[in-house]
Copies of this chain bind each other. A is one copy, B any other.
Amino acid sequence: MNTPSHQAYVPFVSVDNMLKLVLHLGVERVLADLAAEIEADFKRWPLFDKTPRVASHSDVGVIELMPTSDGETYGFKYVNGHPSNMKQGLQTVTAFGLLAEVATGYPVLLSEMTILTALRTAATSAMAAKWLAPAGSTTMALIGNGAQSEFQALGFKAICGISEVRLYDIDPAATAKCAANLAGRGLKVVSCATPEDAILGAQIITTVTADKQYATILTDNMVGAGVHINAVGGDCPGKTELHKDILLRSSIFVEYPEQTRIEGEIQQLAPDHPVIELWQVINGQATGRSDAREITLFDSVGFAVEDFSALRYVRSKLDETGLFTQLDMIADPDDPRDLFGMILRAS
């Protein structure tokens, strides 16, 4: 057998090792670290090679590839979205990702990203709210209490200092699950019977529901002045959560307009409706919230740069934690022109 060279091995972070990594560092620390990494990459946004995700749609869902590069490192995420999976006991969203060296094209990290995506999504939401939500926000309504909900709650606690979350889901069992998972973590958790109850006194409203359809989780009269809306669940064509009239009253902030106009809440608006790119706020090129009565809306769909930041973060923790294995994934013969000889010598 050939002994592969160092570069033939790709560090692999399994689900088990990702769970261990999060437990080792602590969920809130990981969320805060990820928010800082994502913010740093948003600051250098123009550097990134950006393209809308490459989607393969079917009747029941979508499979997507989300590539990007900062010129030194290339990354992509594989992610699916299958709302009907839940009925079969499967995850709606599963994902994995890869980093590679631009100079050689050799992969340098393969990682599970189902858990990591949940973390980076919450970190991105909270990081955006840090720039957009009213100063001194303490209370968040959390509408949709599924797989993403606890990550959102803890992200807003760790990054924005939220102390109370008000939960609502059409399925009370989901709310009970979310409340149980959040118990004892330093948040006041209030389970609500209606969305109207959930938004009572909330400065921040997070919507994170999963139906693949035009839904109206929030109607116009539910949203008062001065709130920040973190709209997470509308993330593909045909899937929205907010009534159009709310959008028309809001200052809308997005990740990457080319993608958000297809996938986000703003697919309900004219293609030239003004939006503000979040990176420009972070960079000082645009204004975030400019007045206490303004409704700010982060129309989040998830962008490749956030996954890139998250993968780089995981990579940075490998040596320190040892929470990875080596995958024999790259054929690397002694003489690069002698790939066939590698087969011969393996016999």
Inter-subunit contact B27/A115 (CB<8 Å)? no
**Which 7 A/B pairs are nearest by Cβ-Cβ distance?**
A80-B105, A114-B331, A150-B340, A19-B346, A14-B328, A147-B339, A146-B337
Chain B residues with CB under 8 Å of A103's CB are 58, 60, 82
Interface string of A15-54 (1 = CB under 8 A from B): 1101110110001000000000000000000000101001
Give the docked Cα–Cα distance between A263 and B98 (Å). Answer: 25
| Copies per assembly | 2
Given known A105-B82, A331-B114, A331-B115, contact A177–B338 (CB-CB < 8 A): yes
| Min distance, Cβ A156 to any Cβ of chain B, angstroms | 14
* Contact residue among B15, B49, B78, B335 (Cβ-Cβ distance under 8 Å from A328): B15
**Closest approach, in angstroms, between the C-beta of A73 and any C-beta of chain B?**
11
What class of interface size applies to chain A in its complex with B? 35 or more
A115 to chain B: which residues have CB within 8 Å? 331, 339, 342-343
Flag if A90 contacts B65 (CB, 8 Å). no
Asked whether A201 is an interface residue with its Cβ less than 8 Å from the other chain, the reply is no
Closest B residue to A65 using CB positions: B65
Asked whether B91 lies within 8 Å of A330 as measured between CB atoms, the reply is: yes
What is the bound-complex CA distance between A100 and B56, given in angstroms?
Answer: 12
Return chain B residues, CB-CB under 8 Å to A78.
76, 98, 100, 107
Give the residue of B8, B18, B56, B69 whose beta carbon is less than 8 angstroms from that of A49: B56
C-alpha gap A275/B44 in the complex (Å)? 44
A168 on the interface (CB 8 Å rule)?
no
Q: Is A94's CB under 8 angstroms from B106's CB?
A: yes
16 contacts between A and B (CB under 8 A): A12-B327, A51-B54, A54-B67, A56-B67, A63-B74, A76-B78, A78-B98, A82-B105, A90-B106, A91-B330, A91-B332, A94-B105, A114-B331, A115-B343, A151-B340, A177-B335
A89 at the interface (CB under 8 A from B): yes
| Given A341-B177, A343-B22, A16 and B112 contact (CB-CB distance below 8 Å) | no
Nearest CB to that of A102 among chain B residues? B58
Q: Give the nearest-CB partner of A96 in chain B.
A: B329
> How far does the alpha carbon of A81 sit from the alpha carbon of B62 in the complex, in Å?
28
- A18 to B327, alpha carbons, bound, how many Å? 13
Confirm or deny: A274 has a beta carbon within 8 angstroms of a beta carbon on chain B.
no
Closest to A181 in B: B340
Are B90's CB and A336's CB within 8 A?
yes
